[in-house]
Chain A
């Protein structure tokens, strides 16, 4: 009886939260406690931090004139949609941002909460909520400076609704960062056949090629919802070294940065350089007074 009750709830949930795909949720349920094993099922996501965090950080620093290199994202309110176990929320929190991480799967949120609890600085800076994007739209209109949706849009049921919601909770001239997988023959070969079936880089069944999103379509959806695309960069995973790098072609993975138009309906005047390096070693020391 309990299971029937839960099934009914889930059905109600899915009709009012079209951005959440229940089948997708089941896939991630099984691995809810495996998030933080750097060598485990999520190792590729862990190493993706090496390029996506600098990408977000440097894009935001380039648009701002007022920051401290010791706390570069201080004062920035970030929404991490589909935060999973908090793999991306934590580095952003360490860089000084106030992060709200949402994920429809309760077990993911539980893992994320527990992992951050040991670090008092992170525990304060990051708040996790088990929730869909639609659920928070009402109370979070134009609340966030930045939205990050990394490796999420390929799991979403209604992409247009998802983007509309992003636009609503984003402040004018706020930034949206998306990383996802292109829908090409190459992405089928590398992203599904090799990654899932042959090399086991990603657990089998994680992705469905049908739901992959070509950058042109994503760009169209963004532009038609008041978000101006500033940067598109291809990403490549090297399974031998376990590391990610930037590449010209977006035929497999790619990252996109878009900016919500300002109050007057004009797009943001600042131009973001489209060339991004993978890892930027900073100065080893700087005098601080």
Chain B
């Protein structure tokens, strides 16, 4: 029987019903790798999501005796002091994400560095008067604008705090993954083998891919990814307001070329995220600072895209709504005007959308942009990643407390089901919004105008969002 088993294993004929037990190219039988260190969990990718994943597990009581490794291709960055100027890469952190970060002590660090809570979000159309305002009745913060460097600094501190459990490998890029043949065969190692660029090898019971939208883990696992590039790039910059203000509102206007967003960083500074065509983005980057500032102000203030038809139709709808629901429309506030831009703070990066058809395989899980990539228009990107972390950590913690094999598909599939159920509709909605708002065509503008006005008037829908 053992000879038969060996032959069958070698040809990978043992096919489970789900067909999902192993991933990637089949590997011929070979002897157990000599003493490559074995970890319980390896997280590949040391960005915000990867670092947070490693930190959450490192602080989990049921992982007290486990060995975790975090692989980061870049060097360790020292964040002892934040520079006076603000970084141009910022994220909108939802209250749920803040809760996750505080569960392992990182949020305290963020608060002690710098962040800007915002109370209100105004979103409006360039082609009509339609507007939607989000704000919480109880005067709680709706969210927080935090520089990515601040988040990384907080995460690095909390990783240092559990250095006995979490080993961070800087300047370590994984160049190859070898997948176990199946969960129960023969003489080959049942663990995932990882080969680093410098030749070092690691083994792990569970590999978590947090390596971004071009995920190598996902590609090597041969997980199909639905993706397309948008014809848009995002331009980011750090802007200074004309005059100091409370600045606790996040502004977003949908231009035909793409949404432009102003995210508050302090009473005098805001961050720009302007999604527009590649050509326009390049122009914005190369034009002189004065013209750049003018473009931004005009984008927020100009009514050039309005048409009488749409304006009338919109006004009619609004009066109809106010008959039914007198308090249905909110007061439109005016966004702040920009005085100048931080030199050297302008940058651009291309945008796209992606969704992995599977988030998990035997001994593999994808989180963050490796699993799903969205347009920044909804400010959800990193929050989806933090949501993945909360869910996966919950299941892994329970699995550890049950003495289960951490790489077992049983609990990994629960994570996948929960997150796909949550993510798919949101990702699809963001994609639809992006397409809906990329046009000047009257019917679609009318549709979205009325849609926006209706949504603004309906409290239940707004609260859900």
Contact = CB atoms under 8 A, between A and B. Distances in A.
A285 B64 contact: no
A288 B61 contact: yes
Interface string A118-155: 11100000000000000000000000000000000000
Residue of A40, A47, A114, A282 with highest tally of chain B CB at under 10 A: A282
A288 B393 contact: no
Interface in A83-101: 90-96
Contact of B393 (A40, A72, A285): A285
Interface stretch (B214-222, B254-262, B400-408): B400-408
B1 to A, nearest CB: 6
- The main secondary structure of chain A at its interface with chain B is loop
A68 B63 CA distance: 11
- The main secondary structure of chain B at its interface with chain A is loop
Contacts of B205: 119
B61 A283 contact: yes
A36 B184 contact: yes
Contact of A71 (B5, B18, B65, B408): B65
23 contacts: A33-B1, A36-B183, A39-B21, A49-B403, A53-B404, A57-B402, A69-B401, A70-B62, A71-B64, A72-B401, A90-B403, A91-B404, A280-B401, A281-B398, A282-B62, A284-B393, A284-B397, A285-B56, A285-B59, A285-B61, A286-B60, A288-B59, A288-B64
Interface residues of A, number: 41
A262 interface: no
Given A69-B61, A282-B61, 4 more contacts: A38-B183, A119-B38, A284-B390, A286-B60
A4 B185 CA distance: 33
Contacts of B59: 285-288
B73 to A, nearest CB: 27
Contacts of B65: 70-71, 96
Contacts of B184: 34-38, 40, 115
Nearest to A96: B65
A279 interface: yes
B7 interface: no
Contacts of B105: 287
Given A285-B103, A286-B61, A118 B402 contact: no
Interface residues of B, number: 42
Interface string B1-37: 1100100000000001110010000000000100000
B403 A92 contact: yes
Interface string A203-215: 0000000000000
B103 A70 contact: no
B394 interface: yes
Contacts of A119: 38, 205
A166 to B, nearest CB: 22
Residue of A37, A57, A93, A280 with highest tally of chain B CB at under 10 A: A37
A285 B393 CA distance: 8
Given A54-B402, A118-B32, A284-B393, A38 B60 contact: no
Nearest to B59: A285
Residue of B62, B187, B393, B403 with highest tally of chain A CB at under 10 A: B403
Interface string B376-401: 00000000000000100110011011
B97 interface: no
A53 B16 CA distance: 26
Nearest to A95: B403
A34 B401 CA distance: 26
A127 B32 CA distance: 21
A17 to B, nearest CB: 25
B56 A284 contact: yes
B104 interface: yes
Nearest to B189: A118
A27 to B, nearest CB: 16
A196 interface: no
Contacts of B187: 114
A284 to B, nearest CB: 5
B241 interface: no
